[in-house]
């Protein structure tokens, strides 16, 4: 690596940016102003090592997790567990990232022992090495991205491609702020995998092929959808050995082999704790490939990838050049990218919770960097070069500014709308949040309808369902009240339901619940439960009113299912049932 090379100066510059960020994070750990290593999804990925080394088993449970989060993370909610059929609790997150984090965990454990810190996986030494490990993988991602790009391009194109990927996209925020998630690790490991794969393709070095398979297998252990990356070696090897298919198959077998080897700990965990060898998904969301959200995934103001990282609009120019210069790479990469976007947009929570733009796309930026490189080399004349670099410069400036807005919560990590996007565009301070998508955990937004009207946002207020009754749930028998398509009743899911009803219970010492569930043809993904018997007035009707917001509706045919869950020896009568829906109407 030559220090005078432009690409080296680029990765040095970006490394300094991340180093400053992580220096500030480490300083907070040292002075005790940040004691929380990770929470939410990051806690799900990390918790395997602390429990294994402090308790001697992998039988994690929510009681332990709540105690840890209460002590270190201000009682952050614990939701990472799913009940297994045998009564144990299973962590819904794969343990591949814990394997990657194991060396830094052991260093933290040794340091904690020597310096007499609590050896629970969360005290200061563990936090310190956790951050250092994160920074190490950021550096590895940069180094191997450079090595990967130099297989295809000269130094200048390599440096520009790296600049565009890091400064013109959501990578800075995803890697620098959400470093407890899988994305920066997958970026680095995918860079290493692709480098060794393409090095094998160019030089036919067996060691490179095995290393490529080894690192791809590791990424599959972290996130199973990484198996889609196998499309690339499949195309390349079948093309390389057109007349020797047996040889191609033998080489391809390295990839599923290492995928299985790295996943042995995961299979062991599922089988030893959950009693099943393979448990594909324990989330409330699923990948519904027949109902993708491609347009929203790419272009919505909520999380659209190309809205918040518009520099990738130059990809078609790169693919055109790639088609002319490297046909097999064109077909392998374009097929993979299409399949990846299809699968990622088919996840029912297609916006992937809190993030700046679509964070799952950062995993494959090493491959997209190659396409960007081909877009750069396609500018063979002065006018094209000026046009591309002018657009790219605008995108970099916009991305850097919006990254700042995201860090300052001016761009909200989950509730952005078209109205809010243009309201905050170019601003460094915003005190008005009324244009955001409703906070689905709170119903007080319905008291601010006049404020919405001032912003040009109208609303609809109407009764969408009612019955006079009474309807009777006999002892130990459930009662289905009704089921209806939500979008037959309301225009969109920015809706608050005000539900009023009268209930009679024969025994207020026993529980019975009114359940209102949002269901699709594939699963039940949201529910609101209300106790209507235990502790209530007995042997007479009592009026109740409850309010709740709809969750984001996943599919256009999703339904609201209303019933009384009555497992106890109590008779329930319900009458005068009415649902009033208040829905925001945006332009």
pLDDT of 3: 74
Q: Is the pLDDT of residue 2 over 80?
A: no
Residue 74 lies in a domain: yes
Distances in Å between the Cα of 45 and the Cα atoms of 49, 91, 120, 251 are 9, 9, 16, 32
Residue 431 lies in a domain: no
Residue 437 lies in a domain: no
Is the same domain home to 129 and 277? Answer: yes
Q: Is the pLDDT of residue 535 over 80?
A: yes
pLDDT of 242: 85
Q: In which band, very low, low, confident or very high, does the pLDDT at 347 lie, cut at 50, 70 and 90?
A: very high
Q: In which band, very low, low, confident or very high, does the pLDDT at 313 lie, cut at 50, 70 and 90?
A: very high
Is the same domain home to 96 and 212? Answer: yes
The DSSP bridge partners found for residue 528 are 516
Which CATH number does the domain housing residue 517 bear?
A: 2.60.120.260
Is the same domain home to 378 and 472? Answer: no
Residue 423 lies in a domain: no
pLDDT of 71: 96
pLDDT of 63: 96
- The CA distance from 61 to 83, in Å, is 10
- The CA distance from 217 to 260, in Å, is 7
Structure tokens at 507: 């025994």
Q: Which of 376, 404, 432 is the last residue of a domain?
A: 404
Contact between residue 150 and residue 366 where contact means Cβ atoms under 8 Å apart? no
Is the same domain home to 469 and 393? Answer: no
Local structure of residue 153 (DSSP, 8 states): S
Contact between residue 466 and residue 578 where contact means Cβ atoms under 8 Å apart? yes
pLDDT of 244: 84
Is the same domain home to 297 and 173? Answer: yes
Question: Residue for token digits 């850097």?
Answer: 400
Residue 580 lies in a domain: yes
pLDDT of 281: 86
Is the same domain home to 322 and 465? Answer: no
- Cα 163 → chain centroid: 24
Residue 333 burial by CB count (10 A; 0-12/13-18/19+): exposed, middle or buried?
buried
Taking only the tens place, the pLDDT of each residue in 251-287 is 999 999 999 999 999 999 999 999 999 998 888 899 9
**Cβ-proximal residues to 188 (8 Å cutoff; 6+ apart), any chain:** 137, 138, 140, 141, 144
Is the same domain home to 236 and 327? Answer: yes
Q: In which band, very low, low, confident or very high, does the pLDDT at 385 lie, cut at 50, 70 and 90?
A: very high
- The CA distance from 345 to 285, in Å, is 12
Q: Which of 404, 424, 447 is the last residue of a domain?
A: 404
pLDDT of 84: 94
Is the same domain home to 245 and 335? Answer: yes
Is the same domain home to 40 and 138? Answer: yes
- CB environment 567-580: b (16+ within 10 A), e (fewer): eeebbbbbeebebb
Residue 475 lies in a domain: yes
pLDDT of 204: 86
Taking only the tens place, the pLDDT of each residue in 111-160 is 999 999 999 999 999 999 999 999 999 999 999 999 999 999 999 999 99
Do β-strands 458-467 and 89-91 pair in parallel, antiparallel, or remain unpaired? Answer: unpaired
Q: In which band, very low, low, confident or very high, does the pLDDT at 1 lie, cut at 50, 70 and 90?
A: low
Structure tokens at 501: 């009803």
Residue 427 lies in a domain: no
- The CA distance from 555 to 519, in Å, is 9
Domain count, the chain: 2
Determine the Cα angle at 328 with ends 323 and 332, to 5°: 100
Residue 576 lies in a domain: yes
Is the same domain home to 40 and 126? Answer: yes
> Helix axis angle, 96-115 relative to 124-149, nearest 10°?
140
Structure tokens at 492: 């969109």
Among 238-252, 358-372, 409-423, 555-569, which is the least confidently predicted range?
238-252
Mean pLDDT, rounded, for 400-416? 97
pLDDT of 464: 97
Local structure of residue 120 (DSSP, 8 states): S
Is the same domain home to 212 and 283? Answer: yes
Is the same domain home to 187 and 72? Answer: yes
3-class state of residue 503 by DSSP: strand
Q: Is omega for the bond preceding 470 within 30 degrees of 0, making it cis? A: yes
Distances in Å between the Cα of 294 and the Cα atoms of 41, 454, 485 are 24, 32, 23
The DSSP bridge partners found for residue 572 are 473, 505
Q: Which of 373, 404, 435 is the last residue of a domain?
A: 404
Contact between residue 474 and residue 507 where contact means Cβ atoms under 8 Å apart? no
pLDDT of 250: 93
Local structure of residue 485 (DSSP, 8 states): E
Determine the Cα angle at 562 with ends 469 and 439, to 5°: 125
Mean pLDDT, rounded, for 179-205? 96
> Helix axis angle, 327-346 relative to 365-377, nearest 10°?
140
Q: Which range marks the domain in which residue 186 is found?
A: 6-404
Q: Is the pLDDT of residue 314 over 70?
A: yes
3-class state of residue 104 by DSSP: helix
> What average pLDDT does the structure give for the chain?
96
Taking only the tens place, the pLDDT of each residue in 284-301 is 899 999 999 999 999 999
């Amino acid at each position: 690596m030559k220090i005078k090379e432009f690409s080296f100066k680029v990765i040095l510059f970006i490394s300094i940016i991340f180093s400053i960020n992580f220096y500030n994070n480490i300083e907070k750990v040292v002075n005790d102003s940040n004691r929380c290593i990770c929470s939410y999804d990051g806690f799900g990925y990390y918790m395997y090592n602390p429990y294994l080394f402090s308790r001697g088993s992998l039988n994690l449970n929510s009681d332990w997790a709540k105690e840890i989060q209460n002590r270190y993370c201000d009682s952050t909610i614990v939701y990472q567990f799913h009940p297994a059929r045998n009564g144990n609790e299973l962590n819904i997150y794969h343990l591949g990232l814990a394997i990657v984090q194991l060396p830094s965990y052991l260093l933290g454990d040794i340091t904690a022992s020597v310096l007499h810190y609590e050896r629970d996986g969360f005290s200061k030494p563990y936090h310190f090495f956790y951050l250092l490990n994160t920074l190490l993988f950021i550096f590895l991602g940069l180094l191997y991205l450079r090595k990967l790009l130099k297989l295809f391009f000269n130094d200048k194109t390599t440096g520009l491609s790296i600049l565009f990927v890091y400064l013109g996209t959501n990578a800075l925020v995803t890697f620098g702020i959400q470093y407890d998630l899988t994305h920066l690790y997958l970026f680095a490991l995918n860079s290493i995998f692709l480098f060794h794969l393409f090095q094998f393709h160019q030089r036919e070095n067996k060691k490179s092929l095995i290393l490529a398979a080894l690192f791809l297998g590791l990424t599959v252990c972290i996130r199973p959808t990484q198996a889609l990356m196998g499309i690339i070696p499949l195309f390349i090897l079948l093309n390389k050995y057109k007349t020797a298919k047996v040889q191609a198959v033998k080489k391809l077998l390295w990839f599923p082999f290492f995928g299985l080897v790295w996943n042995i700990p995961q299979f062991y965990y599922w089988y030893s704790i959950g009693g099943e060898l393979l448990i594909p998904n324990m989330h409330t969301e699923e990948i519904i490939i027949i109902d993708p959200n491609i347009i929203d995934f790419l272009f919505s103001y909520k999380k659209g990838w190309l809205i918040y990282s518009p520099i990738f609009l130059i990809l078609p120019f790169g693919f055109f050049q790639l088609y002319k210069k490297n046909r097999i790479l064109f077909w392998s990469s374009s097929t993979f990218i299409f399949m990846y976007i299809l699968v990622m947009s088919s996840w029912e929570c297609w916006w992937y919770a809190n993030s700046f733009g679509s964070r799952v796309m950062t995993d494959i930026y090493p491959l997209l960097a190659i396409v960007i490189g081909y877009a750069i080399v396609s500018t063979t004349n002065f006018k094209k070069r000026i046009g591309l670099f002018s657009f790219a410069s605008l995108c970099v400036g916009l991305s850097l500014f919006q990254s700042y807005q995201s860090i300052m919560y001016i761009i909200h990590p989950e509730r952005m709308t078209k109205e809010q996007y243009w309201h905050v565009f170019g601003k460094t301070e915003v005190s008005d949040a009324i244009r955001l998508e409703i906070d689905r955990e709170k119903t007080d937004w319905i008291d601010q309808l006049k404020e919405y009207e001032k912003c040009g946002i109208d609303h609809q207020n109407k009764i969408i369902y009612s019955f006079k009754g009474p309807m009777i749930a006999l002892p130990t028998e459930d009662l289905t009240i009704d089921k209806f398509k939500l979008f037959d009743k309301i225009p969109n899911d920015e809706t608050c339901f005000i539900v009023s009803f009268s209930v009679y219970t024969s025994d207020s010492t026993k529980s019975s619940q009114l359940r209102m569930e949002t269901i699709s043809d594939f699963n039940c993904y949201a529910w609101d439960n209300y106790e209507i018997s235990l502790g209530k007035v007995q042997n007479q009707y009592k009026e109740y009113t409850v309010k709740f917001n709809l969750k984001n509706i996943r599919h256009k045919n999703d339904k609201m299912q209303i019933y009384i869950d009555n497992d106890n020896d109590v008779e329930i009568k319900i009458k005068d049932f009415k649902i009033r829906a208040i829905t925001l109407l945006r332009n």
